[in-house]
A and B are shown apart, each in its own frame.
Chain A
Amino acid sequence: MTGRPAIFLLCGAVFGAGLALSGMTDPAKVIGFLDFFGHWDPRLTATMGGAVTVAALGQWLVRRRGRALLCADPLAAPSSRIDARLLAGSVIFGAGWGLAGLCPAPALAVSLQYPVALLFVAGFLAGLMGVARLDRGGRG
């Protein structure tokens, strides 16, 4: 079982390297990608295309196999429901994304080099845990 966190660490590092290489860790490039009505920077379409293609290959392999290589549990079937909660959350997320040009993974990835990004991370943690707390309250 000690190998499991090591593989997660490796995947996190590869993910972070990809974010830095693609330019997603530079808020100006993300804002440029969202600037359809000004000077649109299309490069993140290639990033998303590359990420989705390789991730889809992994999905396809694991589905064909029926289960993961190192985990005996059956594959989870994520929800496919489109409800008001998803739409509201996506709108609020998009507003924050456009406001600073950061989303969670790039903000965490740059936080060692640019500690000012920790302000974003702190807000993110507060929002994420606030929603989780309300959910627990609602169920209890």
Chain B
Amino acid sequence: MIVALSVADWSLALAGGALIGLAAAGLMLAFGRVAGVSGLVRDALSGRAEAVAFVLGLPLGALLVQGLTGGGSVAFASPGRLALAGLLVGIGAGLANGCTSGHSVCGIARLSPRSLAATMLFIAVGAGMVALVGVPAP
């Protein structure tokens, strides 16, 4: 079954995506830098001021949108599950040298076969995991 979405739902999803693409295009146009969040986090941890600035920008931008739109409440997985999921995502992004932003946005925009392979596996295994452990109760 497919969830029915309104025109507003689709528009927000598309507009949000365009903003993500704009940020990626901005870093690429200005500095030739791939907007891969895992790589930027690694650079931030090694003390590069520009990477720290990007990482700090993420919650600031999100907070601004939440403030403007009101944004409903959001539910998260249990603490243990969050930590385990984060650990898997960190190991995976470290080995694959990129995450959803670097591979699924910037890499696919470049038509990189490597990033296409990574993205297909992200989605296939993610879907398998959701089928396996189920959708958390609301």
Binding site for B on A (CB under 8 A): 4-28, 31-32, 34-44, 46-59, 61-62, 67-71, 73, 75-76, 78-82, 85-105, 107-114, 116-117, 119-132
Q: Is the CB of B84 within 8 A of A99?
A: yes
Interface residues on B, range: 35 or more
The answer to whether residues A95 and B88 also contact, given A18-B19, A46-B13 and a CB cut-off of 8 A, is yes
Contacts of A116 in B (CB 8 A): 76, 79, 82
C-alpha gap A27/B37 in the complex (Å): 18
Q: Compute how far the CA of A111 lies from the CA of B22 in the bound complex, rounded to whole angstroms.
A: 22
Partner of A96, one of B9, B92, B110, B138: B92
> Closest A-chain residue to B57, C-beta based?
A12
User: Which residues of B92-138 are within 8 A (CB) of A?
Assistant: 92-97, 99-101, 103-110, 112-114, 117-118, 121-133, 135-136, 138
Q: Name the one of B55, B65, B130 contacting A17, with C-beta atoms under 8 angstroms.
A: B65
Q: A94 contacts B122, CB within 8 Å?
A: yes
In the assembly, what is the distance between CA of A32 and CA of B27, in Å?
A: 30
A78 to B109, CA, bound (A): 13
Q: A84 to B80, alpha carbons, bound, how many Å?
A: 29
CB of B52, distance to nearest CB on chain A (Å): 8
Give A40 to B126 CA distance when docked, in angstroms: 13
Of chain B, the residue at the smallest CB distance from A28 is B75
Question: Is B28 within 8 A of A55, CB to CB?
Answer: yes
